[in-house]
Structure 1
Amino acid sequence: MRSFALSVLREPPFTADQHQDTEALARESESWAQQLGLISNGRRLRRADAAGLAGRACPQAPRDRLRLLSDLISWLFVMDDACDEDGLGTDPTRLAPTVAALLDVLDQQGGRDAEPAAGPLGAALADLCRRVRAHDRPAVLLRFTSAMREYLLALLWEAANREHDRVPPVHEYVQMRRHTGGVFPSLTLTDLVLDGFPSAEHRADPQWAALDQLAANLICWCNDVFSYRKEHRAGPDAHNLVTVLSRETGDETAAIRAAAARFNEELGTYLTTESDLLAQHGEAVRPALATRRNWIRATYDWSLAAQRYA
């Protein structure tokens, strides 16, 4: 599938790089996950290569800040596997208590020392919130907790679809995929890591919101094309762009090509929108634009390398 994905996806025209401390970072994030009880061993997390993804998204970041992003991605992979592979996400009534407990953690915003519910997932999320809070950037903390809340609620949407064997229509899937992919909390911490958080004025620009949506689409659709075969082997799952397109076309190969075509067209729209924002706002937005470029390129390169989709 990787060779086919390479043949149909347009390679993002952005510089590829990786942080020099990625291997050490991987060991540290795995140790963090084990100490907090997220994992019993590191096999599955090593296959996911959270540090590799973080290191590609922030190749020039200070290592201590990059750990925060690597740990978040590790948490997202553990949560994703719990839902998709361990059965937590097959029944909304089973998932709901976990989501409620994690929402309570987010409501505390890292400001209380009470023992969080939801076991290791809650303890690790509380640790992430405390570390974001320690940067003393209230707007970033609020944006992070809000994006994580949207991610958790989107997981309930997925669980409800699985319970009823429902394949969502394409427009609905595209909207919700931005949230189930955990893109927005990851972008928020990347902005924090690189000290490139856009100003309130820039974030209020509708074009900026459009750019973030385009970046999220590209990140998620690239992942869908690369991961489709692996997910399909485990049993058909409605939550992949290829699957929802296949439901409409009735042809799997045509759906894969259609998903790639959407990615390629969206990449062109992204480049145009990025140029417009740079022309309008100048150098002030360049760090945030670089963050999104890095994430799009990182997802493409990581999808080629990670054992997660082998």
Structure 2
Amino acid sequence: MRSFAIAALREPPFSSLRHDDTERVAGESADWAQSLGLISNGHRLRRADAAGLAGRACPQAPLDGLRLLTDLISWLFVMDDACDEDGLGSDPTRLAPAVADLLDVLDNQRGRVPVPARAAGPLAPALADLCRRIRAHRRPAVLLRFTAGMREYLLALLWEAANREHDRIPPVAEYVQLRRHTGAVYPSLTLTDLASNGFPPAARRAEPGWATLESLVVDLVCWCNDVFSYRKEHRVRPDAHNLITVLTRELGDESLALRAAADRFNERLGAYLSTEQRLLVTHGDAVRPALAARRNWIRATYDWSRAAERYA
């Protein structure tokens, strides 16, 4: 599958960069996850290479910003594995109490874990720690943006669980919309912007052109992940939550779906480049740092997916 993805997906025409402290942060983040009980050993997390992804997405960030993003990605990988490989995401009646615990954390502005938070286990205090560290930056809008993105992510996981319970493959349009949230790209971009101080001016973010660009970035990150991860996700039991799976249902042929998924990615990449250029012409230097962060995320996902043991 990796060879197909490399051959079929257009390589993002952006510089491939990696933070100099990636290896250091990898060790620190693994220690953080273990100290909070997220992992009992580091095998899965090493294969996931959260620091490798964060180091590519944030190649020039201060060390604490890189750590915060890496810890978020580590948290997301642990949650993803709990849902996909440990069965939590196949049973809405098990997942819902865990999601409720985690929503309580997001709603608690004092940064404490509500008691009890048994269903979510160590995911709750780990999420509270991430929120506490974001709050320490004293930028309330950033915390609100992060918690909103995480809330959408958690609720979208319940949609996935309901689909699995009923062996339902969603229609393509529905999948595309909800995939933007199950990928947790929005909160990841928030912490990337925080680390690089790359937020575009608030007035710019309210414009339709910027919203279009954000959707394009999220689609590119998620669909790249879908193409590279497709075979791994289908080894044991086919998962409905992959662009290729939903296209196969629509087109009736897996080989056509593979090609269609790659074509969609390549079309979106072209649309991103055109949208980015229009924003630069209109807004100039005010949006360059934010655009650089989004370029890095697109390129980082492609490079990380090519190398990650997680999809080997």
Is 1:87 the counterpart of 2:83? The answer is no
Is 1:287 the counterpart of 2:289? The answer is yes
Aligned with 2:200: secondary structure? Answer: coil
What's 1:76 paired with?
Answer: 76
Aligned with 2:234: secondary structure? Answer: helix
Give the alignment's Cα RMSD to 1 decimal: 1.0
Aligned with 2:95: secondary structure? Answer: helix
What's 1:181 paired with?
Answer: 183
Q: Equivalent residues in 2 for 1:132-281 (5 A)?
A: 132-281=134-283
What's 1:105 paired with?
Answer: 105
TM-score (norm 1): 0.98
**Percent same amino acid at aligned positions?**
77
- Given that 1:222 and 1:299 are in contact with CA atoms closer than 8 Å, whether structure 2 keeps it comes out as yes
Give the CA deviation at 1:114. Answer: 5.4
- Given that 1:178 and 1:217 are in contact with CA atoms closer than 8 Å, whether structure 2 keeps it comes out as yes
Quick one: distance in 1 between partners of 2:85 and 2:38? Answer: 15
Give the CA deviation at 1:66. Answer: 0.6
Quick one: distance in 2 between partners of 1:110 and 1:253? Answer: 51
AA of the residue aligned to 1:214: L
Give the CA deviation at 1:198. Answer: 1.9
Change (3 A) 1:158 1:21: same
Give the CA deviation at 1:3. Answer: 1.0
Aligned with 1:185: secondary structure? Answer: helix
What's 2:299 paired with?
Answer: 297
Q: Unpaired segments of 5 or more residues in structure 2?
A: none
Cα offsets for 1:61-85 (capped at 9, x unmatched): 1112110000000000000000000
- Given that 1:54 and 1:70 are in contact with CA atoms closer than 8 Å, whether structure 2 keeps it comes out as yes
- Given that 2:209 and 2:275 are in contact with CA atoms closer than 8 Å, whether structure 1 keeps it comes out as yes
Change (3 A) 1:266 1:203: same
- Given that 2:88 and 2:94 are in contact with CA atoms closer than 8 Å, whether structure 1 keeps it comes out as yes
Give the CA deviation at 1:2. Answer: 0.9
- Given that 1:115 and 1:123 are in contact with CA atoms closer than 8 Å, whether structure 2 keeps it comes out as no
Quick one: distance in 2 between partners of 1:296 and 1:201? Answer: 24
Aligned with 2:40: secondary structure? Answer: coil
- Given that 2:227 and 2:262 are in contact with CA atoms closer than 8 Å, whether structure 1 keeps it comes out as yes
Aligned with 1:119: secondary structure? Answer: coil
AA of the residue aligned to 1:222: C
- Given that 1:224 and 1:241 are in contact with CA atoms closer than 8 Å, whether structure 2 keeps it comes out as yes
Structure 1 ranges of 4+ moved more than 4 A:
113-116
Cα offsets for 1:132-153 (capped at 9, x unmatched): 0000111100000000000000
TM-score (norm 2): 0.98
Quick one: distance in 1 between partners of 2:109 and 2:172? Answer: 34
Quick one: distance in 1 between partners of 2:274 and 2:106? Answer: 36
Quick one: distance in 2 between partners of 1:113 and 1:222? Answer: 35
Quick one: distance in 2 between partners of 1:272 and 1:197? Answer: 21
Aligned with 1:186: secondary structure? Answer: helix
Cα offsets for 1:153-198 (capped at 9, x unmatched): 0000000000000000000000000100010000000000000112
Q: Unpaired segments of 5 or more residues in structure 1?
A: none
Quick one: distance in 1 between partners of 2:66 and 2:135? Answer: 15
